[in-house]
Amino acid sequence: MELEVRAEEWGWWDRAKAYVEVTKPRSVFLLVFTALPPMVLAAQRYPFTWSQAVLALWAVTLACAGANAVSCYVDRDLDKAMERTCRRPVPSGRIYPAEKALCWGLALFLASLLLGWRLNPAAALCLAGGMLGYVGIYSLWLKRRSVWNIVLGGVAGGLPALFGWMAVSGKIAWLPVLMAALVVLWIPNHIWSLAIFYREDYARVQVPMLPVVTSLGKALHCLLLTVILMVATSLFIGYLGHFGWVYWAIALLTGAAVLALSLYVIWRPNPRSAWLLFKFSSPYLFLLFLAMLLDVL
């Protein structure tokens, strides 16, 4: 009842912002951006119009937003108990009852499927796989049960990049698969460094993130392995995609930086150094895909 009263006290603008916030806009922006370079690359080989491009961007945006909103509903008890997430719209009562977030997320996702189907069935299937992977495999199944949660559940994070290609071509190819793999390999680095900083928070709610259930040294060596694979994949993408000097310069510079930061965290294993790695991880991914886009254009 307390939450209901508090929710009614919010003005319409605050409630509207809560429904945007529950979709995690920054996460949506980064994932949607990874769909752009594959889309532009595919458009050089297959016929594609501006109206189809707009349709594809709307589809992947709504799919990511919908999946995030549904996951916020699924994780509402964890979010309420964790210091990092307790101010999100559902646990804070800005969206009440919580089922409104679920309905909002499902509506967004259904709209994305309809738009994806208008492009081609393969694109719609890719969007459906994202919801199944993120909400079904990660949030509902592995997040609270297995140390492999972010590794297997993170596969969904690579699907927007694959969608960008399939929205244009309706087919699969090695280059977009590698771009998707790059995102999948980026996710453990991004999440595990955050989990090191909020280790006590995750331990309190018994979410078995790798840095929580194993020694910090072992977790950091696993993190370094994923970073090495991620950087190696970024270089192989440059080779397979025949990218020019713009991509290679940014890939080499950012790759060297993320490797150096990962080694720094191993040298100084503390929350502050892990936070630095976490804060660099999103710009790293953005710059790589921006380099792809600039190189193609």
In which band, very low, low, confident or very high, does the pLDDT at 3 lie, cut at 50, 70 and 90?
Answer: very low
Q: Is the pLDDT of residue 4 over 50?
A: no
pLDDT computed for residue 286 by the predictor: 98
pLDDT in tens, 13-34: 888 999 999 999 999 999 999 9
pLDDT in tens, 249-276: 999 999 999 999 999 999 999 999 999 9
DSSP string for the chain: -HHHHHHHHS-HHHHHHHHHHTT-HHHHHHHHHHHHHHHHHHHTTS---HHHHHHHHHHHHHHHHHHHHHHHHHTHHHHHH-TTTTTSTTTTTSS-STHHHHHHHHHHHHHHHHHHHHH-HHHHHHHHHHHIIIIIIIIIIITTT-TTHHHHHGGGGGHHHHHHHHHHHSS--HHHHHHHHHHHHHHHHHHHHHHHHTHHHHHHTT---HHHHS-HHHHHHHHHHHHHHHHHHHHHHHHHTT--HHHHHHHHHHHHHHHHHHHHHHHS-SHHHHHHHHHHHHHHHHHHHHHHHHHH-
pLDDT in tens, 69-99: 999 999 999 999 999 999 999 999 999 999 9
Domains of the chain: residue spans and CATH: 1-171 (1.10.357.140), 173-297 (1.20.120)
In which band, very low, low, confident or very high, does the pLDDT at 2 lie, cut at 50, 70 and 90?
Answer: very low
- Quick check: pTM over 0.85? yes
pLDDT computed for residue 15 by the predictor: 86
